[in-house]
Structure 1
Amino acid sequence: MHNTVKNLLDIENNIKNHLNKLNINNNPNIIAVSKTFSIDKILPLIDYGHVDYGENKVQEAVEKWTEVKKNNSKIKLHMVGKLQTNKVKFAVKIFDYIHSVDSQKLAKKIFDEQSKLNKKIKIFLQVNIGDESQKSGINKNDVNQLISYCKYIGLDVIGLMCIPPVNTDPECFFEEIKKLNKASGLKELSMGMSSDFLLAVKHQATYVRIGSSIFGQRY
């Protein structure tokens, strides 16, 4: 068994055992964040049957995944990085999920481009849960307004996404966004990475974004 597959199975087991201990019923999807890794490093996971992959640069995703997705219709590609409006038309072609929508302008651009392709992307709204000036995401007080706008134009918003501040205990941020997500009537929740995914699934994350714990360190 290839290392990446073993790593994925270990993570799945860790999540299952952790949730069983806490008596929490949650079966999150693992997004294997494959940014910066070449497709030959990802193929063992594809061959194993894993379907969810994350990239944070549109150009890299197009180059790596265009052919692979033609041959593997089950693969779901997730845009987990910041999306510039001038890259939206390329992103909409290749991605199935976008986790980083944080403005009406970006939402409208995605809607316009997906309409041309008769495609419906699944959307997460990125919330700047720690209120950090250097980080993308909308203020938590503006969430309902952006959800309303997205529904009005016809975007398929399925949940919220957050990246808690580094070097802090993420648990209070996960709890806060879980409540916000629930209050907004959204079903999916994108949070948790290699360092904190067990805490994220405890707070009902339905998608965790894991890179280095699957593929190893990036250089």
Structure 2
Amino acid sequence: MTTSSPDTAVASSFEAVRRRIARACRIAGRDASGVVLTAVTKTQPDEALAAALTAGQRVFGENRVQEAEAHWATRRDTPGLELRLIGPLQTNKAVEAVALFDVIETLDRPKLADALAAASTKTGRAPRVLVQVNTGAEPQKAGTLPEEADDMIAHARSLGLNVEGLMCIPPVEEAPGPHFALLRKIARRNGLSVLSMGMSGDYETAIRFGATHVRIGSALFGERN
């Protein structure tokens, strides 16, 4: 009996997830081209990254600057590659993050906005940014509170940061729909078009509420090590 190679297994997972995204878009009356699949590669081995690239994936999400540098230093010139920081960022890592990432999804406080603006001036790079909103007001979770989101967006814009949207991670014990709806409401009133919301367990719901980017890890690569 033969077993599938890692490349074949990963390619099959990508195909399955893309089919589900397309189906969710059809149900929601949306064009599937309006939803970007971000493959979450934190803690994944080099073989998984190679297999994902072979499967045609070009948008990747990483949680830590140092791990992302190790993952992508030799692949940074891959045509079409887009790296997105989806984990919390310390201000002392702002320069490294701005130098490496195309998009930083976890802007959550004025001090970090200041650091990113300074890093952009220093490096000459200006990654797009998303404001992370802590829709569940969870004390252990990063993100600006919903009632403070408008001020956070305005502050980032005043610094010249390219704020293109919002990101959230709903509480695991709650239905995600209301959280996605809240994020969409905040985005609309601030004229933002990008919504990074939905992970392996709820991305089809997120698409129904307008997600433009879904962050998928375990459904593509299996449970993290």
TM-score (norm 2): 0.93
Report the Cα distance in structure 1 between the residues aligned to 2:126 and 2:11, rounded to whole angstroms. Answer: 30
- The one-character-per-residue Cα deviations of 1:133-174 (angstroms, maximum 9, x if unpaired) are 111110111111111111111000010100000121111111
Query: In angstroms, what is the RMSD of aligned CA positions?
Result: 1.3
Match of 1:60 among 57, 67, 77: 67
Identity %: 34
Gapped regions of structure 2 (runs ≥ 5): 1-6
Q: Counterparts of 2:55 and 2:17 in 1: how far apart (Å)?
A: 15
Find the counterpart in structure 2 of residue 214 from structure 1.
220
Q: Which amino acid in the other structure matches residue 20 of structure 2?
A: N
> Which of 134, 138, 144 is equivalent to 2:150?
144
1:18 and 1:42 map into 2 onto residues whose CA distance is 26
Report deviation, 1:67: 1.2
Count of aligned positions: 218
1:68 partner letter: R
8 A Cα contact 2:95 2:123, kept in partner: no
Task: Please give the secondary structure, in 2, of the residue aligned with 1:69.
Answer: coil
For 2:120, give the aligned amino acid. Answer: Q
Amino acid at match of 1:20: R
Matched, 1:43 2:43: no
Which range is displaced more, 198-207 or 142-151?
Answer: 142-151
Query: What does residue range 1-219 of structure 1 map to in structure 2 within 5 Å?
Result: 2-25=8-31, 27-70=34-77, 72-219=78-225
> Given that residues 200 and 217 in structure 2 are in contact (C-alpha distance below 8 angstroms), is that contact kept between their aligned partners in structure 1?
yes
What is the rounded CA distance, in whole Å, between the counterparts of 1:168 and 1:67 in structure 2?
Answer: 40
Could you report, residue by residue, the CA deviation over 1:11-51 in whole angstroms, capped at 9, with x for unpaired residues?
11111112212323452101000000022211122123211
TM-score when normalising by structure 1: 0.95
Q: Specify the SS of the correspondent of 1:68.
A: coil
Distance in 2 (CA, whole Å) between partners of 1:21 and 1:31 is: 21
